[in-house]
Amino acid sequence: MSKRVKLLASVNRLRSPKAIGLLQVSIVAMIFLGCAIQIQAAPTITGILVNGVVSNTGPVGATLTIQGSGFGATIGFSTATLNGIALAGAGVKPTSWSNTSIVAVIPNTASSGPIVVTVASVKSNSWQFTIGGVLTSVSPTTQVAGKAVTITGSGLGTAGGTITFNGQNASWTAWTATSITAIVPPAATVGGIVATVSGIQTNGIPFTPTPYITQLSSANGIAGDTITITGGSFGNQQGNSTVTFAGVTATVNPNGWSNTIISVTVPASAVQLVNIVVTVNGSASSKVAFTYNLPQITGISLPSGPPQVGFIITGNNFGPNDNLVNTFVTLGGQILPTLSWSNTEIVVQVPAGFPQGNNLPLVVTYAGLASTNNVQFSVVPPFGCN
């Protein structure tokens, strides 16, 4: 007897409702144990590209890329639609289809609405999309306020519209369906350029206004001084922006950063003549010269009291104290102990046993910069006594 006959015979003998129920359960169990069960994961849309840039707005004829997962390796009987109009499937051939990406052309019949991908009758999440203009690039990517940039895209119309730089309205001098020439506004900051055409906003493309310096509160000084830098396109907050003196980063004072004014503490420098540069989001301003004032000795006097007290050096640009690295007084090349230090007066001590000598060079060094005026000092008894 064949297996089929045996199975039928068994069925005939199980007439009661209870037995038939058991038989059904057994058959179902055999099916599940003997076959691999595949569950179709729901397709998921995670993002949209229009002509290669991230955008939820785009014109008809543009290349639309649907990013996500669970689309399947091939299209098969799957579909992708925009507001019910086929982008792919249902007789419309896509540019490409993979498990994570669908590339198609927005048809002339498309209208604004949800994008939905359907795989094996399972629908994805809805992704809202608007038929309108799309911006793809700006040249140059950084520019000084008041200068022109060229913004390219598609679906921008020919009747014009409005253009903003991170929310700041800008004027434009030329507008076509694929290009806009606009002037960077004075208050522009780092952010997106957005065009509005017939009330519909495009995507935003990143832009950094080139920072510029117009004035320094002082073009010279010493390390530790506070100076104010005036200009524009610095950004409303510092973020990762910097101010450098010959490549040395300056400390920005508390609440010292705005889009037009920066307050910094002058850093120490190994050279006297330097350039100040403000860098915002990788875009550097033009260089502005700054001169470090060298320490200058104008006089020497002996204080009252025992000879071992030392002597007083007067002058200027000594700095407020000797706390900074590379700040000291040398006599004949040897560092002297300091008893007090101010910007105009230093009291030093000549220790007992200091080598005697005539016309030894006296030099004050503040934050690495040394006095250059020729000042000499002689050590004779009682300075050299023990």
pLDDT digits (tens, 9 = 90+) for 313-332: 999 999 999 999 999 999 99
Whether residue 28 is predicted with pLDDT greater than 80 in this model: the reply is: no
Percentage of the chain beyond pLDDT 70 is 86
Structural domain includes residue 385: no
Q: Return the minimum-mean-pLDDT range out of 120-124, 219-223, 307-311, 373-377.
A: 307-311
For residue 105, CA distances in Å to 54, 61, 95, 153, 294 come to 16, 6, 8, 16, 68
Whether residue 68 is predicted with pLDDT greater than 80 in this model: the reply is: yes
CB 252 within 8 A of CB 263: yes
Q: To the nearest 10°, the Cα dihedral for 307, 309, 311, 316? A: -170
CB burial string 193-210: b at 16+ within 10 A, e below: bbbebeebbbbbbebbbb
- Provide the mean pLDDT of the chain: 89
Is 26 found in the same domain as 93? no
Q: How confident is the model at residue 307 (pLDDT cuts 50, 70, 90)?
A: low
Of 209, 242, 258, at which residue does a domain stop? Answer: 209
Separation of alpha carbons 3 and 308, rounded Å: 121
Q: Name the strand (E) or helix (H) holding 170.
A: strand 168-170
Is 277 found in the same domain as 227? yes
Domain of residue 98, CATH code: 2.60.40
Enclosing domain of residue 300? 296-379
Confidence at residue 351, expressed as pLDDT on a 0 to 100 scale: 86
Separation of alpha carbons 341 and 168, rounded Å: 51
Q: What is the pLDDT of residues 138-186, one digit of tens each?
A: 999 999 999 999 999 999 999 999 999 999 999 999 999 999 999 999 9
**Tell me, what amino acid is at 304?**
S
Q: What is the pLDDT of residues 224-239, one digit of tens each?
A: 999 999 999 999 999 9
Of 71, 98, 129, at which residue does a domain stop? Answer: 129
Is 195 found in the same domain as 122? no
Is 301 found in the same domain as 284? no
Q: Name the strand (E) or helix (H) holding 118.
A: strand 113-119
- By three-state DSSP, how is residue 171 classified? coil
**Number of separate domains in the chain:** 5
Widest distance between CA atoms in the chain: 133
Is 202 found in the same domain as 143? yes
Is 240 found in the same domain as 219? yes
Please state the φ and ψ torsions of residue 63, each to the nearest 5 degrees: -85, 120
Contacts 24+ apart (CB under 8 A), 94-100: 95/63, 97/71, 97/72, 98/71, 98/73, 99/69, 99/70, 99/71, 99/72, 99/73, 100/67, 100/68, 100/69, 100/71
Structural domain includes residue 384: no
Q: How confident is the model at residue 15 (pLDDT cuts 50, 70, 90)?
A: very low
CB atoms within 10 A of CB 230: 14
Q: How confident is the model at residue 25 (pLDDT cuts 50, 70, 90)?
A: very low
Whether residue 99 is predicted with pLDDT greater than 70 in this model: the reply is: yes
Q: Return the minimum-mean-pLDDT range out of 63-67, 86-90, 301-305, 331-335.
A: 301-305
Confidence at residue 39, expressed as pLDDT on a 0 to 100 scale: 61
CB atoms within 10 A of CB 254: 7
Confidence at residue 308, expressed as pLDDT on a 0 to 100 scale: 58
CB 303 within 8 A of CB 323: no
Whether residue 122 is predicted with pLDDT greater than 70 in this model: the reply is: yes
Is 280 found in the same domain as 229? yes
Whether residue 218 is predicted with pLDDT greater than 80 in this model: the reply is: yes
Please state the φ and ψ torsions of residue 312, each to the nearest 5 degrees: -110, 130
Strands 101-105 and 96-97, by their bridges, are antiparallel
CB 107 within 8 A of CB 85: yes
Is 227 found in the same domain as 200? no
Q: What is the pLDDT of residues 186-203, one digit of tens each?
A: 999 999 999 999 999 999
**pTM for the structure as a whole:** 0.78
Give the ranges where 138-269 is alpha helix by DSSP (H).
none
3-state helix vs strand vs coil in the chain, percent to 5: 10, 45, 45
Is 202 found in the same domain as 233? no
- Residue of 120 and 385 predicted with greater confidence: 120
CB 149 within 8 A of CB 143: yes
Q: How confident is the model at residue 309 (pLDDT cuts 50, 70, 90)?
A: low
**What is the number of H-type helices and E-type strands within the chain?**
2, 40
Identify which of 71, 185, 93, 84 has the alpha carbon closest to the alpha carbon of residue 129.
84
Environment class of 266 (CB within 10 Å of its CB; exposed 0-12, middle 13-18, buried 19+): buried
- Residue of 36 and 79 predicted with greater confidence: 79
Whether residue 27 is predicted with pLDDT greater than 60 in this model: the reply is: no
Confidence at residue 354, expressed as pLDDT on a 0 to 100 scale: 85
Of 292, 324, 353, at which residue does a domain stop? Answer: 292
Domain of residue 362, CATH code: 2.60.40.10
